[in-house]
Amino acid sequence: MINVSEAQWSVGRWQEEIEIRLAGDDAEGPLVNIRANDSREFDAIFLGGGAAGRFGAAYLRAMGGRPLIVDRWPFLGGSCPHHACVPHHVFSDVAAQLMLERTFSGRLWFQNLRGRIVSIKEIVEMFREGRTGPHAFMNFQSKEQLDLEFVLGTEARILDAHSASVAGITFGAKNLVLATGARPKTLSIPGRDLAGVFDYASLVDTLDYEPGPTAVVIGGGKTAIEYGCFFNATGRRTLIVSRHKPLPMVNDGETRAFLLERMQEQGMEFLPGAALATLEGDQRGRVQAAVIRTLEGEIRVETDFLFLAQGLHPNSEEARATLGVAVDSDDFIRVDSRLRTSIPNVYAVGDVIGPPMEMFKARKGGMYAARNIMGEEAHYRLGDYPDFMHTHYEVCWLGLGEEDARERYRNVVVLKLPPENPDGHRVALPAGDRMMLYAMMKPELTGFQKLVVDGDSRRVVGAFHVGYGAKDGFQYLAPMVRNGLSVDELGEMDELFLNPSYFIQLCRLRAGSRILRGM
């Protein structure tokens, strides 16, 4: 056990200590930051220091309370920087970069990547080395700026609703906050234990060979598509096997079609209405083929690289067994709008309470739990939220798609780029940052954007963007849309041209007319 509470550790120092422990050397034991001279009872023990636990503890501390975080990993931040959001963004950035380099291979200064397979192993190893920097920063920030107390690098065992055992010591608190997260679902078919079968966590932790020329992805949701695009961009044949049509979460048909067409142009293959039947292994115990069941019968695909993205299973077992917290049919812990479980003084936040498995929900859940723990009556209502994913592009959306809007409103007006025109997508708009070379040399790849408006009230009811650089904007646009943003108000804003989303200027071009028209 190392007591770190006495001195300030630099980010670099934290990084060294984390790397030692992640390499399997925990000789020095957990990293403990507890103020020795503070005898106050903890207001809450946060079991798990990921997004939900860390933000919840920070908020509770900011309110004047005393939280303790315990995490089995030697760093705060949880799966996001270690397994999830951060590697996903690294790989999506790689996919965008490789699509650019492949598109312009041999032109201007671009090298020729045509036909060349890029190493996945090297990229994964680059991430595996690089991730400890963000880990270290989380520890630094949590200790030096957020004044958080924590025990890292050891499992906590829940004793009851007010105590947990950590590294042989019993810690008591007024409340427990379960922030134990979730893990990828596993297979239940023959061959499931073969090497070469990965999920987003095991990929970055364990990949130790260079995958062959074919990647098979099981799933059709965000994770499946995001990793599939990465595998595709490295130059591998990539097959997306999904029970349902892919991209169900992108709730606008035209946007979804644009995305699928672009992915297919990049060579991705989709097998919807299909499921993995069995996996065949080679003599070394590594997968060598996947047998896939489709409506037309079984097909066999030779591959040494299978990626599973079939959703998440909550880490709720211990809390169920020890505390008896109520769970839903998928084992996610049930909470009310104050983040309270069925057991008094036990809260739950983050992925362990179920979807959406998004950062903002985890962090805000932690914050609302903290407010309730500190005596407020604070209800977290999820409401409409903006959303995003990556293909080779960034994709953002909020509100209603065109189809749903037409169900709801009699006079739906659509403003989009490119608009309907005889050249289709072969026009260089929407151009914008990170899109300019496409705009000049390959205009059909410059993306797509669409604003869905209730023509009668002139209010924006949905927005969709395929391209780059709109993600930040959607965060701020979302509450405005919830508050009734009109095309007239949008048209009065000041665009920063060439802006990735052209919504402001498109609205302005139409706002002069009392009868709103699409374009």
Catalytic residues: 76, 80, 85, 135, 497
Q: Is 12 in the site for a second copy (CB under 8 A)?
A: yes
Alpha-carbon distance of 130 to 316, in angstroms, equals 30
Cα 367 from Cα 353, distance rounded (Å): 15
One residue of 31, 47, 58, 306 binding a second copy per CB under 8 A: 58
Determine the Cα–Cα distance for residues 267 and 115; give it in Å rounded to an integer: 12
* DSSP reduced 3-state for 398: strand
Position 71 contacts a second copy (CB under 8 A): no
- Binding test (CB under 8 A) with a second copy, winner from 171, 231, 409, 474: 474
According to DSSP, residue 427 is labeled: S
User: How many other C-beta atoms can be found within 10 angstroms of the C-beta atom of residue 447?
Assistant: 28
Binding of a second copy by 359 (CB under 8 A): yes
Least distance to a second copy from the beta carbon of 498, Å?
5
Restricting to residues 95-154, name those near a second copy by CB under 8 A.
96-98, 100-101, 107-109, 111, 113, 116, 118-119, 122-123, 126-127, 129-131, 133-134, 136-137, 140-141, 144-146
What own/partner pairs with CB < 8 Å and gap ≥ 24 does 22-30 have? 22/74, 22/132, 26/74, 26/153, 28/1, 28/2, 29/1, 29/2, 29/153, 29/154, 29/167, 30/1, 30/2, 30/74, 30/151, 30/152, 30/153, 30/154, 30/166, 30/167
Closer by beta carbon to a second copy, 400 or else 429: 429
- Residue pointed to by tokens 């965060």: 475
Task: Please count the residues of this chain forming the interface with a second copy, following the rule CB under 8 A.
Answer: 117
The answer to whether residues 181 and 170 touch, using CB atoms and an 8 Å cutoff, is no
The residue written with tokens 């996947």 in the block is 290
Contacts with a second copy in 294-323 (CB under 8 A)?
Answer: none
Site for a second copy in 256-275 (CB under 8 A): none
Q: In whole angstroms, how close is the CB of 397 to a second copy at the nearest point?
A: 10
- Of 20, 34, 63, 167, the residue at the interface with a second copy (CB under 8 A) is 63
Whole-number minimum distance, CB 329 to a second copy, in Å? 27
- What is the nearest approach in angstroms of a second copy to the Cβ of residue 55? 7
Q: Which one among 159, 201, 275, 427 touches a second copy, defined by CB under 8 A?
A: 427
Minimum Å distance from CB 241 to a second copy?
A: 27
Examine residue 472 and tell whether it contacts a second copy (CB under 8 A).
yes
DSSP character at residue 286: B
**Which stretch, 81-89, 223-231, 267-275, 302-310, contacts a second copy (CB under 8 A)?**
81-89
Residue 143 or 256 having the CB closest to a second copy: 143
- Taking Cα atoms as reference points, which of 429, 396, 415 lies closest to residue 509? 415
CB of 420 to a second copy, least distance (A): 9
Closer residue to a second copy in complex, CB, 121/245: 121
Among 268, 276, 396, 453, binds a second copy (CB under 8 A): 396
What distance lies between CA 444 and its chain's CA centroid?
A: 28
Angle between helices 222-233 and 85-103 (to 10 degrees): 40
Q: Which is nearer to a second copy, 258 or 380 (CB)?
A: 380
Query: How many angstroms separate the CA atoms of 498 and 428, rounded?
Result: 12
Q: What is the 3-state secondary structure (H, E, C) of 221-262?
A: CHHHHHHHHHHHHCCCEEEEEECCCCCCCCCCHHHHHHHHHH
The single residue among 212, 221, 272, 443 that binds a second copy, judged by CB under 8 A, is: 443
